[in-house]
Amino acid sequence: MQNVVIIGSGCAGNTAAIYTARANLKPLVISGHEAGGQLSLTTLVENFPGFPEGINGPDLVENMKKQAQNFGAEFIHGSVIDTDLSQRPFRLNVEGDWIETRTLIVASGASARWLGLPNEQKLIGHGVSSCATCDGFFYRGRKIMVIGGGDSAMEEANFLSRFGSEVTLVHRREEFRASKIMLDRARANAKIKFLLNTVVDDVHDASKTLVTAVTLRNLKTGERWEQDVDGFFVAIGHIPNTRIFKGQIETDPDGYIISKGGARTNIRGVFHAGDVQDRTYRQAITASGAGCMAAIEAERFLEAEGH
């Protein structure tokens, strides 16, 4: 029987592990299918406080893991494939083995939605990004492309226009999902050029491990062409990893956990941390902060129950 199980090993999960381990609760972290979370997909992180020269995303998250292990946190590979949160202890199926826990911290994150282009995954971290805040700075004076027609795409295009020599926003339709105010702001920005009714067929050049160009296609005319690009930002939404809790932990229609205040979910003893609940900030530092909150709540919950 575990005191605390943490699902997810990104900033939120690892920070929750540091805090609960230091509280002597011997947390068990289930790393999940994207171990290290979204930081493991980035390169240099320059906005996490405490690193004046910046730090590589994978190093940052690995350091957090080591820090938690130093205090006795245990990490296991694998994913949770089924859960029973209807009674305590909670039961989790980790790839065939059931484990039991008194409290659960859900830090399973949200995965960026990708376009599924042939070379997209090979170029993540080398010009392909899902996070303007993380990577925009590297494209000072360069050609940037943003894909999407929602608020995220508008926000990223506006943000990236501070850095890029030009920003091309590519959207597959003429109508936008973005709110009027965000769209108007992007339209008023002289650096942003709109390319509508257009899709990306592929991003190049995987052989150089660097983004150099994209192949575009106009859906109305069928015209296909190549355009030079240095930074390729995909902003077509995120998918919170909550499928395994369906019908148990309360979520909004998009699958994000609904917070009941602090780090509490609708189930007593189950806490949330990071992007699985946060659709607004989605930063490493806010996820770490949320992991800390969840850990403190789990600790107090166990204490109140006499464990």
Active site residues: 131, 134-135
CB of 155 to ligand NAP, least distance (A): 5
* Contact with ligand NAP (CB under 6 A) among 213, 279, 285, 289: 279
Residue type, 111: S
Of 26-34, 55-63, 68-76, 148-156, the window that binds ligand NAP (rule: CB under 6 A) is: 148-156
Residue whose structure tokens are 């020269």: 53
Is 151 near ligand NAP (CB under 6 A)? yes
Query: Residues with Cβ < 8 Å from 58, sequence gap 6 or more?
Result: 36, 39, 40, 42
Of 3-11, 85-93, 129-137, 149-157, the window that binds ligand NAP (rule: CB under 6 A) is: 149-157
Is 283 near ligand NAP (CB under 6 A)? no
Is 217 near ligand NAP (CB under 6 A)? no
CB of 276 to ligand NAP, least distance (A): 15
Contact 146, 167 (CB under 8 A): yes
Residue whose structure tokens are 């699958």: 255
Residue 137 CB coordination number (10 Å): 15
DSSP letters for 8-62? --SHHHHHHHHHHHHTT---EEE--TTTTGGGGG-SEE--STT-TT-EEHHHHHH
CB of 170 to ligand NAP, least distance (A): 8
Is 240 near ligand NAP (CB under 6 A)? no
* Contact with ligand NAP (CB under 6 A) among 8, 57, 127, 150: 150
> What is the β-pairing status of strands 97-106 and 2-7?
parallel
Q: How far apart are CA 294 and CA 17, in angstroms?
A: 10
| 56, β-bridge pairs | 44
Is 224 near ligand NAP (CB under 6 A)? no
CB of 242 to ligand NAP, least distance (A): 15
Find the residue with minimal CB distance to ligand NAP. Answer: 150
Closest CA to 131 of 44, 13, 243, 241: 44
Q: How far apart are CA 175 and CA 121, in angstroms?
A: 28
* Window 155-184: residues binding ligand NAP (CB under 6 A): 155, 172-173, 177
* Contact with ligand NAP (CB under 6 A) among 152, 198, 251, 288: 152
Is 127 near ligand NAP (CB under 6 A)? no
Is 22 near ligand NAP (CB under 6 A)? no
Q: What is the DSSP letter of 175?
A: S
CB of 237 to ligand NAP, least distance (A): 4
Residue positions counted in the chain: 307
Residue whose structure tokens are 């997810």: 8
Q: How far apart are CA 41 and CA 213, in angstroms?
A: 21
* Contact with ligand NAP (CB under 6 A) among 57, 136, 149, 291: 149
User: Binding residues for ligand NAP, per CB under 6 A?
Assistant: 115, 148-153, 155, 172-173, 177, 236-237, 279
